[in-house]
Structure 1
Amino acid sequence: MLWVPVAGTVILASYLGLWPVPIAPVSWDAPAAPGYVGAHAANSKLAGVQRIDLHGEVGPEHVVAGPDGRLYTGVRSGNIVRMQPDGSAQEVFASTGGRPLGMAFAADGSLVVADGIKGLLSVAPNGQVSALGDGQARFLNAVAIAASGKIYVSESSTRFTPARHGGTVEAATLDVMEQSATGRVLEYDPATKALRAVATGFSLANGIALSNDQASLFVSESGRYRVWKIALDADRLDVGKQSPQAQVLFDNLPGYPDNLTRAPDGTLWLGFGGQRNDLDKMARRPFLRSMVLRIPRFLWAAPKPYGHVMAFGEDGKVLDDLQDPGGTSPLTTGATVSAGRLYIHNADGDALGWIAKKIPRRPNLNFA
């Protein structure tokens, strides 16, 4: 009966080597993970955060403070939940029918939403949702609004979309596994309804924030552990090619950089959506990445949850670094400073975390 195990081995090998997968992996040079050293030395400053229960909602992936002093957050159900700074008076402000991710308030009081499924949306103060643009851009992730009224948004991938590939987490996983770097930064002009590409070539373009002088954009590139500074007037700039209009502000970070927000004092905050893992070891082995996708997800080695957010200045100096190595934090995608608190975004938790973080307000730096 030797043929039975032999046949089983042949079938398994054929499955791992030949079964179709949705990615066409690209070889790339991943830098060696630095670990938690220097400005990112391991600490427990984020351990033991306070919790605001969301009453059944899950995944406050991004949080923004509104002009009314209340907090707004998009959750997995497609709802945008509004609440007081202490978490009281929670209500559904609007529902997009998709997955609201990054958000920013426009000068007219409307809430602009980068929805990973529905695209770029505007929510009126009465909660009415309308689409912006032609609806062609998909897997939008983060949004920032300039004083000119122009809207800047990250498109994480043009290859994988949450609508077609099982949600935002699955689409992001496929994009990072493939490394084809099709992410973009787009500009939408409400006056002309024109959409243009500012920069291209990102491996999972993610968080976005404007510089104080409104001449540049900070963009987190999750798939290659970087934060960029991109000239606002760039046009279809390929970040894979050297250009004076693109500067890597942070390189080889210890985790996957995610949301970017600006505090009232001008400080920029960045969340890390997970630690680096063994994926780096397969950077030059595309075939192995294809094989991994053929293995059932429940057999994947799940990384230990690791909470991590950091604050930095526009010069690239790390000003604060908060971590929770205890494995109790949900996926910390970002942080928002408001009402004397630092609210911790997360993509998979059933609560909104916060710690006391009093930062002086300087209104001239308070951009979305």
Structure 2
Amino acid sequence: MPTSQKAPAWAIAAVLAVFAVIAYQILFAPDDLKGTKNILPMAKTIPLPVDGPESIEWDPQGEGPYAAVVDGRILKWRGHDLGWVEFAYTSPLRGNCSRHEVVPTCGRPLGLSFEKKTGDLYICDGYLGVMKVGPEGGLAELVVDHAEGRKVMFANQMDIDEEEDVLYFNDSSDKYHFREVFYVIFNGERSGRVIRFNKMTKEAKVVMDNLRCNNGLALNKDRSFLITCESATGLVHRYWIKGPKAGTRDIFSKVPGYPDNIRLTPTGDFWLGIHCKKNLIGRLMLNNKWLGKLVEKTVPLNFLIGEMHGFRQQGIAVKISGETGEVLEILEDKEGKHMQYVSEAYERDDGKLWFGSVFSPAVWVLDRK
């Protein structure tokens, strides 16, 4: 082609730019959820000196919140005058712990649950297993790290039935620890378990298995069943503990996006933190095991995390009925400029909603009154 007939460089750049925009909208743009309330930007931010308050909890006296953070510690909020103070830690190896990245030897506390009658704090650590620390804090001790001959690789969230003196907790994978959680979501493996631990007999029994990255877990108000959500599929599974269906399981609900922790509300419903919304490229990897395996071997983890949320930070929480599993409410920060990577939504008796984040260095509180 004569030089005079070649397309100008600006035209080629414009075509490529248009193609990139179209490709992004088709493959990477997050879902547009219907009927959401864009009110999370109104929440008050309480910064932390460490990243990743994945789970938050209050002690039996109502003090807190306590926050499980990325450097292996549990911090306690003492109000604006004192701020965040160290309460406990899961590993004695503190020499090289980072406030921004997971160091496996330091542990990674995730789900937190206080036992009301003792004041003990139970901790699911994504590397070490289920831990416990007394009301005075300090170094946590191991409670359980094996069940039915298999090591607990990825303890994630738990709930306590104090009347029966048992714990129920998630082991999200038999291959990966917390840092590789996104590979667990995409590679198709179904090694997630729900484990019942009897505090008196020390027996750890698997009550649900064949789960795909089961993440959050909570008992319902009368302790007749528990629910656990799969981050990979958005399915919320139910396991019946009492009644004529005891020992059986079913699908309780399905929620949008990639769900994380579950918390029971004072009225008996459930809040689920949603890490981010889904997109087409994510669905392709989730629904094609070979593609998920290829991604696991070839795609850097940081890029995979960005791809999951369309390279746009988001903040989302979903409320479902404690009786039917129906989605009752979806709250979000559509622009993700204020709240991001919500791992937990915790409704208190005063109606305030508190939010944790698996990555961000903050918790948020929304006063809906």
Q: Which category of TM-score, normalised to the shorter sequence, fits these structures?
A: 0.7 to 0.9
How far is 1:250 from its partner?
1.4
**Residue 84 of structure 1: CA displacement?**
3.9
- 2:248: which partner in 1? 245
Q: Structure 2 matches for 1:206-355, cutoff 5 A?
A: 206-232=215-241, 245-251=248-254, 253-277=255-279, 278-293=281-296, 294-297=298-301, 302=307, 303=310, 304-314=312-322, 315-328=324-337, 329-338=339-348, 339-355=350-366
Which residues in structure 2 correspond to 1:131-280 (within 5 Å)? 131-135=142-146, 136-146=151-161, 147-162=163-178, 167=179, 171-232=180-241, 245-251=248-254, 253-277=255-279, 278-280=281-283
Q: Distance in 2 between matches of 1:263 and 1:75?
A: 23
Pick aligned residue for 1:60 from 49, 53, 59:
53
How far 1:141 moved relative to its partner? 0.4
Deviations 1:195-238 (A, max 9, x none): 0001001100111111122121011111111111111269xxxx
The aligned counterpart of 1:36 is 33
Contact 1:43 / 1:325 at 8 angstroms: preserved in 2? Answer: no
Kindly state the Cα deviation for residue 87 of structure 1 after the two structures are TM-superposed. 8.5
Does the 8 Å CA contact 1:69/1:84 hold for their aligned counterparts?
no
**2:285 alignment partner AA:** M
- Secondary structure of the 2:294 match is helix
Residue 298 of structure 1: CA displacement?
Answer: 5.7
| CA distance in 2: counterparts of 1:72 and 1:269, whole angstroms | 18
Could you tell me how far 1:90 is from its partner in structure 2? 2.1
Residues in 1 aligned to 2:189 and 2:167: alpha-carbon distance in whole angstroms: 26
Instruction: Read off the aligned partner of 1:273 and give its amino acid letter.
Output: H
- 2:41 counterpart SS class: coil
Measured in 2, the distance between the counterparts of 1:280 and 1:104 equals: 33
CA distance in 2, matches of 1:298, 1:322: 26
Cα distance between partner residues in 2 of 1:257 and 1:231: 21
**Offset of residue 340 of structure 1:** 4.2
Tell me how far apart the structure 2 counterparts of residues 118 and 257 of structure 1 sit (CA, whole Å): 23
Measure how far apart 1:341 and its partner are.
Answer: 1.9
Q: Secondary structure at the match of 2:276?
A: strand
C-alpha deviation, 1:86, in angstroms: 6.3
Matched letter for residue 223 of structure 1: A
Deviation digits for residues 268-295 of structure 1 (CA, Å, limit 9, x no counterpart): 1111111113121234543333333413
Distance 2:210 2:198 in 1: 22
Give the counterpart letter for 2:267 in structure 1.
Answer: D
Under a length normalisation based on structure 2, what TM-score does the superposition of the two structures give?
0.77
Counterpart of 1:36 in structure 2: which amino acid? L
Equivalent residue of 1:280, what SS?
helix
Contact 1:52 1:87 in 2 (8 A): no
Following TM superposition, the consecutive aligned residue runs of length 4 or more in structure 1 with deviations greater than 3 angstroms are: 84-89, 282-287, 295-302
Q: Distance in 2 between matches of 1:134 and 1:325?
A: 39
Q: Deviation of residue 133 (structure 1)?
A: 2.2
Shift in Å, 1:65? 1.5
Instruction: Report which stretch shifted further, 79-88 or 151-160.
Output: 79-88
Give the CA deviation at 1:88: 4.9
Higher helix share goes to which structure? 2
- The aligned counterpart of 1:21 is none
Asked if structure 1 preserves the Cα contact closer than 8 Å seen for 2:215 and 2:261, the reply is yes
Partner of 2:8: none
Give the letter aligned to residue 42 of structure 2.
G
C-alpha distance 223-233 of structure 1, shift in aligned 2 (>3 A): farther
For residues 299 and 313 of structure 1, do their structure 2 counterparts lie closer, same or farther at Cα, with a shift above 3 Å needed? closer
Question: Does residue 106 of structure 2 align to residue 113 of structure 1?
Answer: no
Contact 2:218 2:228 in 1 (8 A): yes
Distance 1:184 1:69, change over 3 A: same
Q: Which residue of 2 aligns with 1:13?
A: none
| Counterpart residue identity of residue 165, structure 2 | G
Task: Write the letter of the residue equivalent to 1:143.
Answer: M
RMSD: 2.4
Gaps of 5+ in 2: 1-29, 92-106
- Amino acid corresponding to residue 319 of structure 1 in structure 2: L
Equivalent pairs: percent with the same residue? 26
Matched, 1:83 2:77: yes
**Does the 8 Å contact 1:198/1:232 carry over to 2?**
no
Q: Match of 2:88, SS?
A: strand
